[in-house]
A and B are shown apart, each in its own frame.
Chain A
Amino acid sequence: MTTKLVVGLDGHASGERALDFAVTQARLIGECDLVVAYVIEWSPFSFHSAEENAQRHKRREEEISTVMTRVIDPAVKKLQALGLTVTGKVRHGDVADTLNAIAKEQKAAQIIVARSSEGGFSSRIFGSSTFNLVKGADVPVTVVQ
């Protein structure tokens, strides 16, 4: 049976470290597919002006397209060049919840993320996405330094 690993990317060097670690793991496992995922932070309970709402669908499409072009497609190509089977996903939502949802939906054995580069006030109060993922995930999580 093929093992699936979900790799969370963030468009930064830390995401690249997670990706490299996932490649090593996939090779060790042998029969292993990778799912590279990028979650655009979004909450259905945030506040917007009427004009922003009217343009929201357009903006969403643009956000997905930008992430696909800049983060997901290069990662997929890089892994495919290494002979791995890989799919890319871009979703909106809470980073920890959405990565966990993707892992459950894909029946993944593990989620691999890099230590978050987030900081500031909100992460001190509410915890970083990485911390929240480790705390609430339904599958094992590996956090790469």
Chain B
Amino acid sequence: MTKTMIAALAAAMLTAVPAAAQEGSTLDARVNEIFADVTGPFVSFIFAPLYGTDFPWIVMWLVIAATVFTLYFGFVQFRYFGHSIRLVKGDFSDPDDAGEVSHFQALATALSGTVGLGNIAGVAVAVGIGGPGATFWMILAGLLGMASKFTECTLGVKYRNEYEDGTVSGGPMYYLSKGFRELGVPGGGFLAVLFSIFCILGALGGGNMFQANQAHAQISGIVGDYPGWITGLVFASVVFLVIVGGIKSIARVTEKIVPFMGILYVGAALIILIVEYDKIGWAFGQIFAGAFSGLGVAGGLVGALIQGFKRAAFSNEAGVGSAAIAHSAVRTKEPITEGFVSLLEPLIDTVVICTMTALVITISGQLIMDPQTGRFVLDEAGAAIATIDGNTGVALTSAAFAEGISWFPYVLAVAVVLFAFSTMISWSYYGLKAWTYLFGEGKTKELVFKLIFCAFVVVGAAANLGPVIDFSDAAIFAMAVVNIFGLYFLMKVVRAELRSYGRRLRSGEIAAYTD
């Protein structure tokens, strides 16, 4: 009965589309204007530059945190890298726990929330504004971010809530409140509430509007321009069917297709790189030269660095706290094992996939370079590198792949839509967990959040890329402000776990179940 009503509602929404299409562009413009006005002050605060510089304080905040965690845990991302792989393979999994969420499944779920548009559109934004040099800073941010991810995911499992019915809830809101209480430090409850508010905004921004916006850009790039809210309405209807209607089959199919899309994307990038192997050395030369000189991009060296770090953080979400929500479902006697597994996420997401995208864009020649000076030519506004067809974001990545494989934009369009959809489903869950932390569990309360989430899909698809990407970044980074602040207090808990685990691993007390 409910499913029939939902299907009828979705059909009604879709039939209303053509009638209103004429007013489309006006409506888009209005949505965009209101959205930019409302979110402006919040965005300005988050990206405010450090006093006397052009460097946003938030980027420094993320970099310092990742560096502190890397040093504090003695380069855990490198020392325990091999062990992390063995954990994902299941070598240390108790056979009696078969049927529970495995380390691999938690990693795959968390990755499906992060691998997506950040790797395709985000990298194009970074390279388009900061030049190939941004890739160097992106890789560095990815490597350092592995330690941030390790810290938050260990705490996510350690302080999660396990309910009597067997379900679990975890994430920063739980470790901030419970962890601080355990240490006798005041303010944990306040931080948890603050994090939850930002997490809801992040879910509506980066986890929703940015995805809808870029999915629309990709579809309209292929079928021709049409009002964004139409894409928004279609997407919102499908998201509605899954998260409100409980039609799990759609989510299940997506969860199975998305990993293959990811493999297909990496495979296509690899083919292009193999065919153009003679340019790889040159591309890396551009990456290194651009990282330290700027090569004429907007903002020079600092511009490349800011873009690299910003887009890496947006892509792998290290320090943001979202992964801690996804990873907390694993049932393990050793919370730190989930930390080890999670540190692979920034590696796969940023160091491998983002770098491939950046290499393909650099090699494609889409970025216009002055052959005389070897420096990039800026666009009319002087804010980004000029591209052959004026493409930015996902359209730039699409054009770059088309240079190597002409039909790939069609595959990419499908991949972008699926990635966007799967990221939305993941973030609807993260946002919901924050929502229920604030307002309590309950069907009506959950429904209110889910309806708001669907409405923002339409707003995101209708708005321009600029305001959407600014708000998405600001909301995600606001989560990191609170989360990292808490991690500084709680990192000693993780170090105690790390030392204990390391000792038992060396003594053989913790041993693999398989050779």
Q: Assess the A50–B329 pair: CB atoms within 8 A.
A: yes
Interface: A48 (CB within 8 A)? yes
Question: Do the beta carbons of A57 and B105 come within 8 Å of each other?
Answer: no
Give 17 A-B contacts (CB < 8 Å), ordered by A residue. A47-B256, A48-B101, A48-B105, A48-B255, A49-B252, A50-B109, A50-B326, A50-B430, A53-B105, A53-B326, A54-B429, A55-B167, A56-B100, A56-B101, A57-B166, A58-B165, A92-B98
Residues of B within 8 A of A107 (CB): none
Residue of A nearest to B113 (CB): A50
Shortest CB–CB separation between residue A68 and chain B, in angstroms? 13
Scoring A48, A58, A91, A98 by chain B CB atoms within 10 A of each residue's CB, the highest score goes to A48
Tell me the bound Cα distance from A54 to B330 in angstroms.
8
A49-B425 in contact (CB<8A): yes
Task: Tell me the complex Cα distance, A33–B241, Å.
Answer: 51
User: Knowing that A44-B93, A49-B252 are A-B contacts, what are 9 other residue pairs whose CB atoms are under 8 Å apart, sorted by A's residue number?
Assistant: A42-B99, A46-B105, A49-B251, A49-B426, A50-B326, A52-B248, A53-B109, A92-B98, A93-B98
Q: Which residues of A contact B104 (CB under 8 A)?
A: 44-45
Q: Across the interface, do A44 and B95 meet the contact criterion of CB distance under 8 Å?
A: no
Any B CB within 8 A of the CB of A101: yes
Q: Would B326 and A44 count as touching, CB distance under 8 A?
A: no
Tell me if A63 counts as interface (CB < 8 A to partner B): yes
B134 at the A interface (CB under 8 A): no
Hey, what's the 0/1 contact readout for A87-130 against B, CB within 8 Å counting as 1? 00001110000100100000000000000000000000000000
Q: Mark B412-427, 1 if CB is under 8 A from A, else 0.
A: 0000000000000110
A57 touching B426 in the complex, CB below 8 Å, given contacts A44-B90, A44-B105, A49-B109: no
Q: How far is the CA of A64 from the CA of B167 in the complex (A)?
A: 16
Min distance, Cβ B252 to any Cβ of chain A, angstroms: 8
- Residues of B close to A101: CB separation below 8 A: 95
Whether the Cβ atoms of B98 and A47 lie closer than 8 Å is no
Give the shortest distance, in Å, between A77 (CB) and chain B (any CB).
25
Q: Are A42 and B167 in contact (CB under 8 A)?
A: no
Please encode chain B, from 258 to 285, with 1 for each CB lying within 8 Å of some chain A CB and 0 for all others.
Answer: 1100000000000000000000000000
A42 to B426, CA, bound (A): 22
Residues of B within 8 A of A (CB): 90, 93, 95, 98-106, 108-109, 112-113, 165-169, 248, 251-252, 255-256, 258-259, 325-326, 329-331, 425-426, 429-430
With both chains docked as a complex, state the minimum distance between the C-beta of B335 and any C-beta of chain A, in angstroms: 15
Does A53 lie within 8 Å of B101, measured CB to CB?
yes
Q: When chains A and B are docked, how far (Å) is the Cα of A93 from the Cα of B354?
A: 35
Q: Which 6 A-B pairs have the closest CB atoms?
A: A92-B99, A58-B166, A44-B102, A53-B329, A92-B98, A50-B429
CA distance A91 to B96 in the complex (A): 8
Q: Which residues of B contact A61 (CB under 8 A)?
A: 166
Residues of A within 8 A of B95 (CB): 93, 101
| A98–B95 CA distance with the chains assembled, in angstroms | 10
- A15-65, CB < 8 A from B: 40, 42, 44-58, 60-61, 63-64
Q: Across the interface, name the chain B residue whose C-beta is closest to A105.
A: B95
Contact size class for A? 20 to 34
- Which residue of chain A has the shortest Cβ distance to B322 in the bound complex? A50
Most buried by A among B99, B166, B426: B99
A46 CA to B255 CA in the complex, in Å?
9
A60 vs B330: C-alpha distance when bound (angstroms): 13
Within 8 Å CB of B167, what residues of A? 54-55, 57-58
Find out whether the CB atom of A60 lies under 8 angstroms from the CB atom of B109. no
Q: Which residues of A contact B425 (CB under 8 A)?
A: 49
Closest to A50 in B: B429
Residues of A within 8 A of B166 (CB): 55, 57-58, 61
Partner of A47, one of B108, B113, B169, B330: B108
A118 to B52, CA, bound (A): 70
Closest to A62 in B: B166
When the two chains form their complex, are residues A42 and B98 in contact, meaning their CB atoms are under 8 A apart?
A: yes
CB distance from B255 to the nearest CB of A (A): 4
**Shortest Cβ distance from A46 into B: residue:** B105
Q: What separation, in Å, do the CA atoms of A61 and B95 have in the docked complex?
A: 16
- Checking B258, B259, B426 against A50 with a beta-carbon cut-off of 8 angstroms, the contacting residue is B426
Cα–Cα, bound, A51→B436 (Å): 14
CB distance from B417 to the nearest CB of A (A): 17
Give bound CA distance, A45 to B116, whole Å.
20
Contacting pair B99 A40 (CB below 8 A): yes
Q: Tell me the complex Cα distance, A94–B169, Å.
A: 29
How near does chain A come to B344, taking the closest CB pair, in angstroms? 15
List A contacts of B106 (CB < 8 A).
Answer: 53
Contact of A57 among B98, B100, B108, B169 (CB under 8 A): B100
Q: How far is the CA of A44 from the CA of B95 in the complex (A)?
A: 11
| Nearest A-chain residue to B422, judged by Cβ | A49
- The verdict on A60 contacting B329 (CB below 8 Å), with A44-B105, A47-B112, A47-B259 known, is no
- Are B102's CB and A47's CB within 8 A? no
Residues of chain A with a CB closer than 8 A to B109's CB = 47-50, 53
Contacts of B112 in A (CB 8 A): 47
Given the complex of chains A and B, what is the CA–CA distance between A51 and B243 in angstroms? 10
Q: Residue among B98, B104, B108 with the most chain A CB within 10 A?
A: B98
Q: Say yes or no: A57-B331 contact (C-beta < 8 A), given A48-B109, A92-B98.
A: yes
